[in-house]
Each structure stands twice: as C-alpha cells, then as structure tokens.
A = this chain, B = another copy of it.
Amino acid sequence: MNRIEIRLSGFGGQGIILAGYILGKAAALYDHKHATMTQNYGPESRGGACSAQVIIADAPVSYPHLTQPQVVVAMSQEAYTKYAGELAEGGLLVIDQDLVRPNGDGQRMQVRVAGIPATRIAEQMGRKMIANIAMLGCLAALDQTVSADALRRAVRESVPKGTEDMNLKAFERGYEHGQKLQYDLPGEA
C-alpha cells in the first residue's frame, strides 16, 4: 500500500490545522485517495508549537499515527526543532525561510530542504493569515502526493467566504516559488 505521511507545523494562529484539513480534503475528495488528519490540542493550542498530521494512502487509513513522515513543513523555529528530526531519509523539509534558521540539529543529512518566504508573500499581499496557503502552493510544486488542481479546489471550498480569490492567489505565488526551487534542490533527479 502506498502511504505518505505529512507533518505540517508552526505556531498557533498560522492556520496550520486549516492547511492540514485542506490537504486531506484535496486528497480524498478530488484525488480520490484515502486520508486522515489528526490535530493535537494541549498546551500547543494555547500559543506554542502547533501541528497537523496528514496521512494519505491508496486504501483506508486504519492507523492514523505518524511514524516517519516523508514530508515535514515547519513554519516556526520551535516547530523545526521539534519535528525536523523525524523526517524520513530522502524526505522533504519545507520551511518558512524568514522564520526558520536550519541549524541541522537533529536533522538528517539526506533530506531535501526547501525554503519559501510564505509569511513575507502573505504580508506583501496584505494578509498575514494566508501564509499557510502560500505554503501549500509551494508544497504542491515540490511534492506530488496531492495534485495542485485538487488543492486549488479544496482551498476554494475551505477558506472563509469572500477570501477565496486572495487565497488562491497566495497559492499560486507559493506554487511558482516551489516550481523554481524544484530545479535547485540537491537530491532532485
């Protein structure tokens, strides 16, 4: 069975859970795969590190526990420190390049690291809260577990009414950034 584990992480208020929700929805409803999304509450939901675990598979996911993710997205230094080390060999680490300084702590050597100025893109567009969607766009360009078109549809259906176009624009900005990175990443064929 093909099974991909993805960890999205950052701090509370960045829309990490919504991004995870959208990722699972896109995979299941539009790419016709199976998916689960697990969110942790606890102290992290009161402002600290925040994480969504998404599992996407060809068959029903009976075990939604993340063992060793192939993809980790970290949108804060704390999230990077906490989760970068769990990435599988050869996996993909996507960071917000303005918020995370990779120091190699606990990070495997054999991973691909992609930096995207997601929060800066969002601020330039006047809405910091859409950084999560710019990040999803970047992820769509770098990892094809979920198709970009499925993600676009899920974004449109999941963000607050009236913000669809702005969110989709942020998605495209992230996507373009990711496409450029794709050719520079070490470890890419």
Contact = CB atoms under 8 A, between A and B. Distances in A.
Q: How many copies of this chain does one complex carry?
A: 2
Interface stretch (A37-45, A105-113, A133-141): A37-45
A61 interface: yes
A36 B40 contact: yes
Interface stretch (A20-28, A162-170, A174-182): A20-28
Contacts of A38: 36-39, 64
A60 interface: yes
A36 B64 CA distance: 11
Contacts of A29: 41, 45-46
A103 to B, nearest CB: 24
A115 B37 CA distance: 29
A189 to B, nearest CB: 31
B36 A39 contact: yes
A153 interface: no
Contacts of A36: 38-41
A135 B37 CA distance: 23
Interface in A9-51: 21, 24-25, 27-29, 33-42, 45-46
Contact of A28 (B25, B35, B37, B45): B45
A65 interface: yes
Contact of A40 (B21, B40, B45, B61): B61
A42 B34 contact: yes
B27 A34 contact: no
Nearest to A38: B38
Contacts of A27: 41
Give the top 7 A-B pairs by smallest Cβ distance, nearest first. A28-B41, A34-B42, A38-B38, A35-B41, A38-B64, A65-B65, A24-B41
